[in-house]
Structure 1
Amino acid sequence: MTSPTPPAEPAYADRTFRSGAGLVSGVLLILLVGWVGGDAVFRGAGRVPWVALAALLTAIPLIVAFTLRPAVFAGEERIRIRNPFRTIVLPWADVATVRAAYSSELVTEGGVKYQLWAVPVSLRERKRVARKAARQAGDDPYGRTSATADVRDTQARVAAADRAVADLRELAEQAGHSAERSTVTASVRWAYEVIAPSAVGAVLLVVLLAIG
């Protein structure tokens, strides 16, 4: 008896794009809110512990949603965008472009725009990179390249968000040139695991404050 043929492995693993600053700030905020709220729960009197619990139930899912949750997963056939309250899956064939102006966003062939929360645009970083590039150009006004120059320095002259967007745009173009047609279907799913507890906590908080 022959064993079933295992499913074909993807050509490469998904590339993941996340905000390091968002992850760090999310962890710090959760620790801070947990410390303040926990102190109110264990040391508070009367209705204070219940109000603190409701506030924690409201705040922590929101912090997770806006700092730890956002990510972009780029695979061979599709891109998966995990935003604070939604997860969007799109085959590369549906992607018209990926761009970054004041925010990073993906535009579908139908003109629908999805913001990439995991790739925040920093105007300050762009200005810093532009000033560095201007100084380097001033050092060599004729644009000559030194024999000892590191070609990787060109990557350092681009802001992190612009590098990520360029990588995603390149992946989209490569997938568009592929002869194989993707079997992935577009879908949008709401993150009820984040929305539900936060909504329950907000309702409880309003009720407790109203009857207090």
Structure 2
Amino acid sequence: MTTPEPQPPSPQPSVPVSKDRVYRSPAGVAGGVLLLALALWLGIDALVAGEGRTPWMALATLLFLVPLIAAYTVRPAVFADEDRLRVRNPFRVIVLPWGQVASFRSGYSNEVFTESDDKYQLWAIPVSLRGRKKAVRQEARRASGGGRGRGGVLGGLGGGGGTGSAAADGPVRAETDKVMDELRELLETRKPADGSQGEVTVRWAYEVLAPAVAGAVLLAVLLGTG
């Protein structure tokens, strides 16, 4: 009697990995790129053409300023997928599983609160009071029969799942408020999911802090010995 050869296990179907929705401040990124270009232009010129202590002063200033400019303008971003929210602020990266998120609040800044009542600011999603006033005016014109507004779109936040224009019959909202509405919807639908449980983790951005501190120390030494 022939013994049947064991069959190899059938491959398990691959589980698709959800793609992050990425939110940034276009104005902040644009301003940061301009400031970085200006700082590098002036600093490199001083390094190359400067005399005496000037190149050292330029080097210390670049080490101090460039990381800080990048941290406050280009670096901030919010990443959201089906399991977690990742907040990249100037000096920290906070990973919050949806199960640990209690609420989002919007006032003069947009913030996320955890179940343990910790608060983290969303630097990448700044509140635009001007955008809110514009949305209120558009909504008032639409309510009075002056035609439909364009949803208060200010250029858009994010690159991987933006909110798009307002619904045809929905209220006109500022762009950052629409982003917060989208995050609240994700929280409502994903908070009970098994994959959305876990602990909140916070990591300091040493890649930003280390060169900035080194530049500050070098600058202080140069100024103190000058």
Q: TM-score, normalised by structure 2?
A: 0.82
**Distance 1:181-1:35 versus aligned 2 partners, 3 A rule:** closer
Map 1:110-121 → 2, pairs under 5 A? 110-121=116-127
* Identical counterparts, % of pairs: 50
The equivalent of 2:53 in structure 1 is: 47
**Distance 1:49-1:100 versus aligned 2 partners, 3 A rule:** same
Structure 1 residue 185: deviation in Å?
2.8
Map 1:14-163 → 2, pairs under 5 A? 14-139=20-145, 152-153=167-168, 157-163=172-178
Residue identity opposite 2:185 in structure 1: E
**Distance 1:197-1:79 versus aligned 2 partners, 3 A rule:** same
The equivalent of 2:225 in structure 1 is: 211
The equivalent of 1:175 in structure 2 is: 190
SS in 1 for 2:41: helix
Q: Is the 8 A contact 2:64 2:213 kept in 1?
A: yes
How far apart, CA to CA, are the structure 2 residues paired with 1:199 and 1:66? 16
Q: Is the 8 A contact 1:78 1:184 kept in 2?
A: no
**Distance 1:7-1:87 versus aligned 2 partners, 3 A rule:** farther
List gaps (5 residues or longer) in structure 2: 1-6, 147-164
**Distance 1:182-1:152 versus aligned 2 partners, 3 A rule:** closer
Q: Is the 8 A contact 1:92 1:175 kept in 2?
A: yes
SS in 2 for 1:171: helix
**Distance 1:156-1:18 versus aligned 2 partners, 3 A rule:** farther
SS in 1 for 2:144: helix
List gaps (5 residues or longer) in structure 1: 141-149
Q: Is the 8 A contact 2:102 2:115 kept in 1?
A: yes
My pick for the range that moved more, 117-126 or 39-48, is 39-48
Return the structure number with greater helix share.
1
SS in 2 for 1:56: helix
Q: TM-score, normalised by structure 1?
A: 0.87
SS in 1 for 2:28: helix
The equivalent of 1:186 in structure 2 is: 200
**Distance 1:103-1:54 versus aligned 2 partners, 3 A rule:** same
Q: Is the 8 A contact 2:83 2:190 kept in 1?
A: yes
**Distance 1:182-1:126 versus aligned 2 partners, 3 A rule:** closer
The equivalent of 2:19 in structure 1 is: 13
Q: Is the 8 A contact 2:62 2:215 kept in 1?
A: yes
Residue identity opposite 2:50 in structure 1: G
